């Protein structure tokens, strides 16, 4: 009896072995490709849940103004920004660079310009939160902007935003420095304040109004007592607040945001002039004791971690000198 395999059978086995080896090789290559693909993306937690983005984004559209200064600190030049929202100080290079597309404003967004800029990541949210769905059709869009509704409040979420941006762009060390600077300034301000009453004011449309809707974010971690609470969208609308009402409340301090200065409102008087012209305030504590803090002119259009760090430094210095 011949125990040797027929030639056809032996040849079949050989071909089968080659095929198996080929399949194994293909399988290994497929697994490698899958792992490589996974390594090219990362998952970021946003206000809209988990979003998958490029692991190393190169073409970034930056629409959230609270992220601008941090992106600059990281050396990021965006491919698209809302140029009408750029602060008039410190962003001349972005404003004049024709290679940076103009995304318009949140009130009149130009999403076509964002699309033509061909971003691989869009930093949205804040003023552009309503456009998230449309922007996501262009490229992965993340809303990691600070929010008063976030856990720990607005200032705490500034830290989270900065840390997340540091992770996205490989700038963890610089992000940690920015967070540490904010915490130090905040602690200094908290050490100088002791529950004093304060009127949070906004100069808008040529008059002084209640600014608690926006500025309450500053005082919340300090334990200062706001004499007026937020009333709807008071930062933009005329609430009809009478100067006499503030005089009767007679707060210890006044913190003023000059929205007109930030937005370039034509013909508007500076906040300092508006305050000094209020006859009803001449005998108040904040006027007689010179307890008025004017926020940086561009605060309304910056509002990022650097802006809050500067403001807490202002507050610490003012209260320390009082």
Residues 205, 248: Cα–Cα separation, whole Å: 24
Query: What pLDDT is recorded for position 164?
Result: 98
The reply to whether 229 and 308 lie within a common domain is yes
pLDDT score, position 237: 56
pLDDT at 37: 45
Residue 283 pLDDT: 97
169 located within any domain: no
Q: Is residue 210 part of a domain?
A: yes
Give Cβ neighbours of residue 114 (< 8 Å, ≥ 6 apart): 61, 63, 80, 101, 103, 122, 135, 138
User: The domain spanning residue 233 has which CATH number?
Assistant: 3.40.50.1980
Domain count for the chain, please give it: 2
Asked whether residue 290 is domain-assigned, the answer is yes
User: In the 8-state DSSP scheme, what is residue 97?
Assistant: -
Q: Quote the pLDDT of residue 11.
A: 45
Q: In the listed set 145, 178, 211, which residue is the last one of a domain according to the structure?
A: 145
Is residue 172 included in any domain, yes or no? no
* Paired tokens of 198: 């304060």
- DSSP E strand stretches across the chain: 41-46, 49-54, 60-62, 80-81, 101-102, 121-123, 141-142, 197-204, 207-210, 225-226, 253-258, 292-294
**Residue 248 lies in domain:** 194-321
Taking the chain (322 residues) in consecutive chunks of 10 residues, what is each chunk's mean pLDDT?
42 44 47 51 96 97 98 98 94 97 96 98 96 97 95 96 98 98 98 97 92 94 91 59 96 96 82 96 98 95 96 98 96
The maximal CA–CA distance of the chain, rounded, in angstroms, is: 123
218: in domain: yes
Nearest Cα residue to 250 out of 198, 294, 192, 200: 198
């Amino acid at each position: 009896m011949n125990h040797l395999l027929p030639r056809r059978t032996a040849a079949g086995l050989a071909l089968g072995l080659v095929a198996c080896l080929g399949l194994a090789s293909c399988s290994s290559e497929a697994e490698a490709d899958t792992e490589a693909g996974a390594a090219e993306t990362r998952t970021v937690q946003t206000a809209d849940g988990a979003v998958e983005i490029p692991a190393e984004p190169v073409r970034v559209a930056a629409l959230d103004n609270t992220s601008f200064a941090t992106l600059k600190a990281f050396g990021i030049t965006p491919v698209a920004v809302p140029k009408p929202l750029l602060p008039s100080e410190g962003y001349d290079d972005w404003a004049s660079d024709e290679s940076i597309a103009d995304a318009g404003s949140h009130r009149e967004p130009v999403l076509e310009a964002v699309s033509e800029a061909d971003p691989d990541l869009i930093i949205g949210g804040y003023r552009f939160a309503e456009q998230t769905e449309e922007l996501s059709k262009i490229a992965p869009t993340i809303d990691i902007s600070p929010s008063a509704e976030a856990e720990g409040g607005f200032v705490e979420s500034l830290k989270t935003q900065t840390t997340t941006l540091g992770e996205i762009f490989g700038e963890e060390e610089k992000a940690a420095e920015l967070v540490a600077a904010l915490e130090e300034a905040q602690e200094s301000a908290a050490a100088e304040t002791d529950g004093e009453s304060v009127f949070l004011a906004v100069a808008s449309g040529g008059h002084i109004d209640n600014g608690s809707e926006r500025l309450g974010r500053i005082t919340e971690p300090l334990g200062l007592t706001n004499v007026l609470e937020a009333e709807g969208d008071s930062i933009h609308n005329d609430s009809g607040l009478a100067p006499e009402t503030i005089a009767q409340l007679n707060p210890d301090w006044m913190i003023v945001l000059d929205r007109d200065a930030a937005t370039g409102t034509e013909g508007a008087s500076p906040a300092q002039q508006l305050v000094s012209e209020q006859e009803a305030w001449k005998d108040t504590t904040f006027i007689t004791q010179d307890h008025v803090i004017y926020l940086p002119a561009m605060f309304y259009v910056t509002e990022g971690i650097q802006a809050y760090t500067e403001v807490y430094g202002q507050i610490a210095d003012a209260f320390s000198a009082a």
